[in-house]
Structures are given as C-alpha cells and as structure tokens.
Amino acid sequence: MSAKGYLLKEADLLPLSIGAALLGTGGGGNPYIGMLRTRELMRKGAEVRVVPLDALPDDAWIGEVGGIGAPVVGVEKVEEGGECYRAMRAVEEAAGVKMSALISAEIGGANSLEPIIAAAMAGLPVVDGDGMGRAFPEVQMTTFFIYGAKAAPAAIADDKGNVVVFRDMVDMFWLERFARDVSVGMGAGAGLAIAPMSMEFVRRTAVPDTVTQALRIGQTVLDARAKRQNVVERVVATTGAKLFFTGKVTDVRRELTGGFARGHAHLAGIDAWAGSEARIAIQNENLVLWIDGEPVIMVPDLIVNLELETGEPITTEILRYGQRIAVIGLPVHDLMKTPKALEIVGPKAFGYPDLTFRPLAAGPIAA
C-alpha cells in the first residue's frame, strides 16, 4: 500500500463485502445492498480513495458514520442510500467544520460500506481503519468512544427526509439511548454520524488497516472458491483464525426487542465434534460460544459462523435450523482488550457477570 492509499475498484467490492461480512461476527447487517449502491455510484463516476492512517494531517476532521438499527430489519427495509451522508452533513453544520475523510464505525457487515457510500457522495476519501475491527451492536462500543470521542454533536437521518441532531449529550451512553430510540421510530434503519474527530485522535484510536484486511479476507474466500479448495480451511490458514466447532443448527431463538435482535443458537456437533453441543449467544452479533457448557470464545474476540460447504459467512438474521456451519474464532485487536475497552465491550458489559474475558491467542487476523 502506498503512503497515499489506493483507489477502490469495482472488482474490490465483492471481496470487501465478503470479508466485512466475516468480520461482522454474525452481525452488522448484510453488506450486499451497500455493495450494489457503491457499484452504482462508481459506475456513475464516483471515486473513493482508501487512505492509511498516516495520510492526512493531524488537524484534519474525520467523520465516523454507520447505519443504526437491527440487521433483521435491513433484510426487508432497504436503505435509501443517502442516510449516512445526510447525517454527516448535519453534523458538519452543527459542529461548524468540514470533514476531510470518513471512517467506518465498524468494519463488520453493512457498515463497512456505509462510509464508502457517503464518501462517494461527498467526494471524500475513506480512512483505512474502523472503530471496532469487527461489529458490535451499540453506538458507544467503538474504540473512538472508549478512548474519549465526544458524544455530541451527532446526527441521525432516515430515508424519508427526517434528520435529528444530538446537540448536547451527557455522554456516549445517552447518545446510544436516544439514537436507538429515534432509529426505532425511523423504522430501525437509519444513518448515524458522530462528532468530528481530529486525524491525530483517529490515528491513535482506530483499529488500523481494516478496510484492506476485509478486502484480503474476501479475496482469499473467492480465490479458494475459484480453485475449488476448502474455503473454511483456507480462511483459517490465512487469517490466524482457529476452527472451534463444526455442527448443525438445531435451534435458533431470536427476538427483536428495543431495536436489537437478541437470542441464542444451538448446534449439534458433526465430524470431529460429533456428540458435542454448542450454544452461541446473540445480540445482533455473536457474543459468546459455549461448547458442552464451557465458554470458549467471548466478546470482544470474534466468533464467526461460516457455512461448511461454501465458506459463506452466516449472519445471525439468516441463521436457521438445519444449516451446517463451522465456528471459527479470531482474536480482536489489542485496542479492544484494554481494561477500559473491556468495561464497554467485555462479557460483563453484555450482561454476563459471571464471565471474565479470556482472550484467544493473539496473532494477525489477516494474511
């Protein structure tokens, strides 16, 4: 990668969305619609440059954007496309600044594409990085907020022309609460933009290089498919992931409450895991994996379900009875594992007071 990054090509969009879906750990929404929108914008001449964290000066303003809402809804309620763009413009106006580049709240799932779409509309570059290195269900669960980003002004926009500005917020938890409530009123699919961050702050706090990482993972999947190799094995071999379980989905319980898809999936082991049982807790994303009652992977580390035959990442909203899946685990970036970060994204923050985070063995998660 050059110091100035690279132009995103149309051919990058499919692998990027596959890699993003995998890093979505079951959540973050399906990037497919966003991929089509980005392609449409590119075919109309829009160019989006992916720039590394050291490409812009310290005082450049960076806008973090992302869709907000339950991914289950996203399957049926398609975004209009300009939601994040309009929210970002409202933040610019409220803050009295102009953004120099955009960055993703979360690289996992549909939000990998949201800043790219907004950047294509605004003629801005996107920063190669994000606020999670994965996907998480709540607004405050980014490295940006964990390490002190301002909670206001932020803004949310829907597909109909409604724009709500969070002008003064006591803290990021209040922002999450109000943004969540408004997003539910907006039909649980809306674009959120947070307060401008300086490039200097983003450089210190973003999970680096994750756009490129998602792209590489997707290219590995496509290459393995083209060569008729076992995709799960290739992904495990090239990402530093570990295969934890293979099984058949025997039960999925999922309900949409307070704007979230919450539930559990149960798996009966097959092949090397025949006779074992696994359970995965879900809040939009996969939170905890238990095998035979033992917690073996937990947030913030990544729990990824891949379809056994095709290696296709299975998002929680399409998880269903009878699917045969491989469950792989990937260690999350170190910025997500500090004591400060674990307060926000560790198992206790997700309502598991008895679980103390035990990290997976560290290692590079992309080739």
Retrieve residue 16's tokens. 């990027």
Cβ of residue 16: shortest distance to a copy of itself, in angstroms?
A: 31
Only segment of 179-187, 271-279, 306-314, 337-345 that touches a copy of itself (CB under 8 A)? 179-187
- Rule CB under 8 A: say whether 207 interacts with a copy of itself: no
Cβ of residue 263: shortest distance to a copy of itself, in angstroms?
A: 24
Cβ of residue 169: shortest distance to a copy of itself, in angstroms?
A: 6
For residue 259, what are the CA distances in angstroms to 22, 64, 74, 138, 174? 22, 21, 12, 10, 15
Are 31 and 116 within 8 A, CB to CB?
no
Q: Which is nearer to a copy of itself, 93 or 309 (CB)?
A: 93
Build a one-symbol-per-residue string for 136-175: x at contacts with a copy of itself by CB under 8 A, - elsewhere.
Answer: -------------------x-x--xxxxxxxxxxx---x-
Cβ of residue 157: shortest distance to a copy of itself, in angstroms?
A: 8
Build a one-symbol-per-residue string for 49-88: x at contacts with a copy of itself by CB under 8 A, - elsewhere.
Answer: ----------------------------------------
- Residues 49 and 56: their CA atoms lie apart, in Å, by 12
Closest CA to 282 of 258, 270, 298, 293: 298
State the amino acid at position 128 in one-letter form: D
Q: Which is nearer to a copy of itself, 84 or 327 (CB)?
A: 84
Question: Residue 289's beta-bridge partner residues?
Answer: 280, 297
Number of other CB atoms surrounding residue 234 within 10 Å: 18
Cβ of residue 106: shortest distance to a copy of itself, in angstroms?
A: 23
- Residues 44 and 273: their CA atoms lie apart, in Å, by 50
Q: Which of 177, 225, 254, 279 binds a copy of itself (CB under 8 A)?
A: 177
SS3 297: strand
Write down the H helix ranges in 186-272. Answer: 199-205, 210-226, 231-239
Q: Which of 54, 58, 181, 251 binds a copy of itself (CB under 8 A)?
A: 181
Integer Rg of the chain from CA: 19
Binding site for a copy of itself (CB under 8 A): 90, 94, 155, 157, 160-170, 174, 177-178, 181-182, 184-185
